[in-house]
Structure 1
Amino acid sequence: MDEKYIESVNKAASFLKEKGMVDAEVGLILGSGLGDLANEAQEAIAVPYEDIPEFPVSTVEGHAGHLVYGMLGGKKVIAMQGRFHFYEGYSLQEVTFPVRVMKALGVSSVVVTNAAGGVNETFKPGDLMIITDHINMTGGNPLLGPNDANQGPRFTDMSVAYDKGYQELVEDSAKELGIDIKHGVYMGLTGPTYETPAEVRMVRTMGGDAVGMSTVPEVIVARHADMKVAGISCITNFAAGMQESLNHEEVVEVTTKVRESFKSLVKTAISKM
């Protein structure tokens, strides 16, 4: 992380502060088909990614491409309607740029969400899963390169990547709402191809319960920046070899079906943070 990168983060943060995004508490990263939650923010300020200096732009269907600030669950939140992915051609530093900007805007807690393939054979499409841990199989790490000690330590402890208190808080919220919540390990690969049946068997053998193409880099940077993380996956399909074929339309369709329970869960959890 060089000086130019930090300057870019500060430039984006200054622009957003001028737009009124101040004293933010919780950052929300909303995955494929899940961005609708940001529309529930009250007194909202929404800024398209392309208007923010130095900010990348999302290119994936189901990702609206807005940064939304407002009140949600009684907290000041900054929500990403759509994230950036390694497979879009961005570097992992670019993928995680918004997390650095959130930190610069005062965010201390991050809720990451994603659409994921279910590898655990007890999961079914439409299930919501608390992420208890992750396995980084992207072959990269956003912290590679020079380290700025003002941003975080050279060697980041990932012993508790997903805050245990937040896991309990999400579980309590699910019980309140009558949602049957799952727990599991998320394995992050690069995509954009879906995994082969052999790769899915590998994921299961290595201890993965769900598999996807995001989240891991963002959580690494959030922990580097000493932000507490809660993670929720929406299981949108059976992974390869467990159903006939895979496509992105199905991912968006399933997230649309579970949208209301997902939104209720995240809002209730945020109110308890």
Structure 2
Amino acid sequence: MDQKLIKEASNFIQEKLSVKPTLGLILGSGLGVLGEEIENPTKISYKDIPHFPESTVSGHKGQLVIGTLEGKQVIAMQGRFHYYEGYTMQQVTFPVRVMKELGIDSIIVTNAAGGINETFEPGNLMVIADHINNMGSNPLIGPNDDQLGARFPDMSKVYDREYIELAVNSAKELGLEIQQGVYVGNTGPVYETPAEVRMLRTLGGDAVGMSTVPEVIVAGHAGIRVLGISCISNMAAGILDQPLTHQEVIETTEQVREDFLRFVKKIIANIPN
């Protein structure tokens, strides 16, 4: 990844800010509502930022929102980029590089996911304990810039253990039942077949989606602390006898929005400065 491009994008954003954000938020399908909770917001459309891709998926606003949330200075992506949109892995993860350049040291990555674990139900919130990269690619393939991160980064604790514990305790404070599990990243854009879901369950997956893994890999490479949260928006293929649709994903995230907002805001309030 060319540092010149990262700096040009971050400089463009920095010029519009009066605050220095330290916490990044990536808001997945139907979950961008959290961005509306940010106080004194500065909003920047992706299409205006040098070298930024544009979000093409319904339910993704396609803008950065920077401001204050629960006393923390945050920068939120209302909508993300996906490998299936035709972008390279480096383009998908470019915003994470830019966040690091802006001074972000922690990031909360959210997504809507299909439930593989048959004890899950649509509307559950799952804290990601680990992931399986089933995308057939990796954003770190290619020459490594040692200034951005190590050639062979350790991924054994890429989902920060302290943040997982903090999330669990935040849920307890709210009286909110949450799940923990392994997120499987597939390329999409098709939903999985029933046979693929059975395979992923055998491999240890609890939820499956089409994002998150590339961004988390790059965050780990950059030394950013990560917390991942999935909204289980539907049960994966073959569990229920009904077709899967993107509309169902959006509708479920709408239904769970209050719990999602309370949960993430409590986590942000509890994250040490």
| TM-score (structure 2 length as normaliser) | 0.98
1:109-258 equivalences under 5 Å are: 109-243=106-240, 244-258=242-256
2:263 is aligned with 1:265: yes
**Mapped contact 1:32–1:62 kept (Cα < 8 A):** yes
The aligned amino acid for 2:182 is V
Deviations 1:97-141 (A, max 9, x none): 000000000000000000000000000000000000000000000
Partner Cα separation in structure 2 for residue 130 and residue 110 of structure 1:
14
Deviations 1:151-208 (A, max 9, x none): 0000000010100100011111111111100000000000000000000000000000
Give the share of equivalent positions with the same residue, in percent: 61
Question: Which position in structure 2 is the counterpart of 1:56?
Answer: 53
Q: Distance in 1 between matches of 2:18 and 2:268?
A: 18
- Which whole-Å CA distance do the structure 2 matches of 1:189 and 1:225 have between them? 23
Counterpart of 1:270, as a letter, is I
List gaps (5 residues or longer) in structure 2: none
CA contact (8 A) 1:22 1:105 kept: no
Structure 1: unaligned runs, 5 residues or longer: none
Q: CA RMSD in A?
A: 0.7
Amino acid at match of 1:84: F
Which amino acid in the other structure matches residue 24 of structure 1? Answer: P
CA distance in 1, matches of 2:19, 2:143: 29
Within the alignment, does 1:15 sit opposite 2:3 as a pair? no
Residue 99 (structure 1) aligned to one of 79, 96, 101: 96
Amino acid at match of 2:270: K
Task: Give the superposition deviation at 1:16.
Answer: 0.4
The Cα shift of 1:21 comes to 5.9
Q: Aligned partner of 1:95: which letter?
A: V
Distance, in Å, in 1 between the alignment partners of 2:142 and 2:3 is 14
Corresponding residue SS for 1:23: coil
Using the TM superposition, give the Cα deviation of residue 7 of structure 1 relative to its aligned residue in structure 2, in angstroms.
Answer: 1.0
SS in structure 2 opposite 1:96? helix
What is the CA distance between 1:23 and its match in structure 2?
1.9
Is contact 2:19–2:67 with CA below 8 Å preserved after alignment?
no
The one-letter amino acid paired with 1:256 is: E
**Is 2:16 aligned against 1:24?**
no
Q: Deviations over 1:41-78 (max 9, x none)?
A: 01110011001111110000000001000101211000
Shift of 1:22: 4.3
Equivalence map 1:46-85=2 (5 Å): 46-85=43-82
Number of residues of Structure 1 aligned to a counterpart in Structure 2: 270
2: distance between equivalents of 1:249 and 1:75? 33
1:21–1:69 contact (8 Å) kept in structure 2: no
Which amino acid in 2 is paired with 1:211? V
Distance 1:21 1:70 in 2: 9
TM, length-normalised to structure 1 = 0.98
